[in-house]
Structure 1
């Protein structure tokens, strides 16, 4: 492991760009206000029978967050499309009366474009969440919400992922016409700035020497666990696998033993009791468990206290990004230059 030629943690593009998330979200909420209101009005009039998401990579993890957010706040069944069904198999889908949400940083991946085109032809109302406002995806979709994240140079998406989550929350807040969520949304930029300041150096120390770990979340926090596991792979060279706090007991638990590392994301909602029970079970097996949450447990990583359950996962991934950037360097990796990866992956 050679860290001599690597930048200091606060000198990377990943650090700089992730640290911009609070300002990005503040700008996005202001600039997108009229677009989101118009989109919400159209959706209330459209009354979709279901929602389908289409995305890859970090954007697909945002889609996981969207599933739990839409189903818990609006009661609409939400599922993820397999992009290859439209782009490779080229099979038509029955999507009349469906809201079809495509999420992308670049807006030019061929498989997403093929699926949005087919979804429109199949009768769906299409909505794009995209960072490049003049991209082919933005031009194709019926409704567009720009992520407003600005240029992102680091291969690892950070501020654009958080911008995807905030855009989804903004849309659902107006669609549900929820004053309670509006209050939380207004506080999000300030809370993100606070989350960025937290010290997760205990996680850096614990994870620097390891080779494998589980990343656990549940409900609204599961997409964040997926995103964290991906970032640990691509920036830190660490084999991390994300599991639901419920699903991990169905098989994966068999490999958890003495000193096996586990990172748990928890939020203060109906999933709290089962998540804390799982943490205790991991520890009974001798696992080294780190908990990002307000749980009254040892080895707890600091989070913004009393955050609303729909906001808490967004704040937790902001704190995680700072830790992951430092962890990459501690492990001898340059977080801006993951091997074998490009910023834009154009999957067919």
Structure 2
């Protein structure tokens, strides 16, 4: 029987299709407001996988809108009782599957009281987070039974991309979003295997630019489900020290797409291969796959802003299969629960 993790990952195309349809009016109105009154600073607050969706928002909004984005440390407010002095207007994006973590809820409540426009991207519309925020974009992911979140993460990223699409003047991204559910379904047919990782204990997961948040998410899932010590890093940051750990055969999983970071990424991968790294490359790009010892071919690509979602859609079933191959239950990671409440 398929695990909940796999089944929920396979539900993502339908979730995203509904989300894009149901939130269209709200997102259009919010984008029009933000274009009239652009934020001097965007804040994000999230934990775990949701924070990877928040980092994806940082890359989108900084690279495409040139809006500065700051990730809040909730403990600054909840433990040190300090609230930042902000330029106005400001926008706070809160990402959560459950909407129940007290530190995220308290942060949203405090900054809303201070006059910040607060937007919750959350799966549970009746959650404390949804009640605390001024604007809510539901994820429509339904119940997630697997501890490791999949469809809700992709929904958060899709909702962020939808907002960007309505902030942009052109129609290219909006048109790409129309094809996103079908592209996600095609991504489930990614080709390749994880045999090399069945017997290892450590690896690096690398990405650059818009793909970096997906690399962090992939590393977290390999920790949670496959029991691997997977460290997610930027391809650029990897050169500033961590590559010293490389030795012959050390596994490196790279997520690569065709955008402004492609040429730099290929050069780094060539160097890592020369240093003895065993490269696993998940990508739709032939030049990247040609460098891999184990190519993991993504059968479809989209706009650069959306291909990170396709990479994760392909990755989740692969990670689930690797967990099983390592004798683990991907639905029941050790020491973890579905909802984590921190302050």
TM range (shorter): over 0.9
Note the C-alpha offset of 1:72: 1.4
* Aligned twin of 2:95: 103
* Aligned twin of 2:213: 223
Q: Distance in 1 between matches of 2:205 and 2:306?
A: 19
Q: Distance in 2 between matches of 1:256 and 1:14?
A: 32
* Aligned twin of 2:136: 144
Note the C-alpha offset of 1:295: 4.0
Q: Distance in 2 between matches of 1:200 and 1:149?
A: 28
Q: Are the counterparts in 1 of residues 94 and 121 from structure 2 also a CA contact under 8 Å?
A: yes
Runs of 4+ in 1 over 6 A off after TM superposition: none
- Of 73, 86, 94, the residue aligned with 2:64 is 73
The 3-state SS of whatever aligns with 1:128 is strand
* Aligned twin of 2:21: 30
Within-5 A mapping of 1:185-200: 185-200=177-192
* Aligned twin of 2:318: 323
Root-mean-square deviation over aligned CA pairs: 1.1
Within-5 A mapping of 1:8-19: 11-19=2-10
| Structure 1 pair 304–177 and aligned structure 2 pair: CA distance change class (3 A) | farther
* Aligned twin of 1:90: 81
* Aligned twin of 2:268: 278
Q: Distance in 2 between matches of 1:165 and 1:320?
A: 15
Within-5 A mapping of 1:110-129: 110-129=102-121
Note the C-alpha offset of 1:190: 0.3
* Aligned twin of 1:133: 125
Query: If the length of structure 1 is used for normalisation, what is the TM-score?
Result: 0.95
Gap runs ≥5 in structure 2: none
Q: Are the counterparts in 2 of residues 304 and 312 from structure 1 also a CA contact under 8 Å?
A: no
The answer to whether 1:343 aligns with 2:333 is no
Query: If the length of structure 2 is used for normalisation, what is the TM-score?
Result: 0.96
Note the C-alpha offset of 1:123: 2.4
Q: Distance in 1 between matches of 2:27 and 2:299?
A: 27
Q: Distance in 1 between matches of 2:7 and 2:192?
A: 17
Q: Distance in 1 between matches of 2:246 and 2:191?
A: 27
The answer to whether 1:238 aligns with 2:228 is yes
Q: Are the counterparts in 1 of residues 101 and 341 from structure 2 also a CA contact under 8 Å?
A: yes
Q: Are the counterparts in 2 of residues 93 and 119 from structure 1 also a CA contact under 8 Å?
A: no
Q: Are the counterparts in 2 of residues 304 and 315 from structure 1 also a CA contact under 8 Å?
A: no
Q: Are the counterparts in 1 of residues 96 and 121 from structure 2 also a CA contact under 8 Å?
A: yes
